[in-house]
Amino acid sequence: MNGRVPGRVAALAVAVPLGLGLATAPAASAAAVTTLYYSSSGAPDYLAQIDRGAANWNAAVTDVKLVQRATGATIVFHEVHSGGSYTSTDGHGRGQIYLDTSQVAEGYDPTRIAAHELGHNLGLPDHYSGPCTELMSGHGPGTACKNAKPSAAEAAKVQSLWVNGVAAGAQTRAVAH
Ligand SMILES: [Zn+2]
């Protein structure tokens, strides 16, 4: 929420050529679903909110699916008590997410925070000047904003980023860097 996003999510805009020279059988055009596992046990006060945030993404996109799992998760939630909520992520489905209880105490909606930080892990950058209807406007619209669902444009962006299973490439990048 505070823009501390070490992962260079902006780099995700790299275009991937689609369908060049590929067979056009209908089955081949059906996008594979990339499943990302997240663990929430490190943020015990927000288990339901994290699940709701993930469910909101799952309802909005079909190329990538978020599933809670205690072990082997590539997206790991933690709870902190100061400094603001943030994530350290490669923007390709791997990251650490820190939810700040003091922000929730200030009135920021924890489901919106969780969904916002998941958005970074799915490849979206911050857009603080955006309206409440956008997740990635984060704290910009203020504490009155309780929206925890991505806008149509945000969902479309994530859908496009994951159409070819970006996560597979992300793992290579993580090892390389
Ligand atoms: Zn953010």
Binding-site residue ranges for Ca(2+): 109, 111
Determine the pLDDT at residue 106.
97
- Any idea which residues carry the catalytic annotation? 117
CA of residue 150 to ligand 1 center, whole Å:
13
Label residue 171 by pLDDT band (50, 70, 90). very low
Instruction: Compute φ and ψ for 126, nearest 5 degrees.
Output: -70, 150
Average pLDDT over residues 78-98: 96
Q: Quote the pTM value.
A: 0.79
In percent, the amount of the chain with pLDDT more than 70 equals 76
CA of residue 45 to ligand 1 center, whole Å:
20
Per-chain mean pLDDT for the chain: 84
CA of residue 172 to ligand 1 center, whole Å:
24
End-to-end CA distance of the chain: 25
| Domains identified in the chain and CATH numbers | 32-176 (3.40.390.10)
CB within 5 A of ion ligand 1: which residues?
126, 138
**Both structure tokens of 69:** 């799992």
According to DSSP, the residues that pair with 145 across neighbouring strands are none
Kindly tell me if the per-residue pLDDT of 169 is higher than 80: no
